[in-house]
Amino acid sequence: MKFVLNILKAFLINFLFIGIIHAATLCPSISPKSAGSSAPEQVEAILNDVVCAFIDLNSNNNGSMKSTMNLTKKKIIPYIDLEHSTELALGNYWSQLDNRQRKIFERDIKNSLINDYVGILSEINQWEDINIKVDDQYSQNGNTARVKVSISLDDDASANATVTLKLINKERWKLYDLEYQSISILDIEKIGYDSKIKRQGIEKLVEKMLSKS
């Protein structure tokens, strides 16, 4: 189970069907640009595109930390709406920020996701055994949607979990949050930022983030 939870965390940089279970070995995957426009179709295409990219990386014995980080920036980050995620994570503080400060917080979330989970991704060597099942019975409200995804491993019946991916459509569907057993990654980020801002103030927190860049 720990392995599967690490996969889930990694896919929300983090960034991952009542339908057929698609083994990750069915590569090459369909590009999200060529897939259907519904939220489940886009989720399936995005996740399989990511998994196939990591299968290819590991098959070339190039799963180093640096290579994994480069692939993460290329294959995962573009599928995440960082601006929307940052706005939700900051809550009421968002309206107090100017455009420059908003970009600094957005970069902080991106760097946090990369730094937290690239190490996990680089240690995974079972990409070929991952099965992804996207539930096509999804909910949509305007330009946002919630899609349930089940992930399992071929050789471990106990290693399975279901998460809800939250997406927003601004010209195309992008991920902005992941929920597991009613726990949202953005809720965790929101608690963290709220605590830091109350303790340090927005200006000092921004300065601290800039000093780390």
Q: Return the domain boundaries, the chain.
A: 2-212
Verdict on whether the full-model pTM lies above 0.85? no
Locate 59 and state its tokens.
Answer: 């098959």
Reported CATH class of domain 2-212: alpha beta
pLDDT at 105 over 60: yes
First CA to last CA distance, the chain = 35
CA distance 168 to 81: 8
pLDDT tens-digit series, residues 7-39: 444 443 333 322 223 344 457 677 888 889 999
**How many alpha carbons fall within 13 Å on the CB side of residue 44?**
23
Locate 98 and state its tokens.
Answer: 């100017």
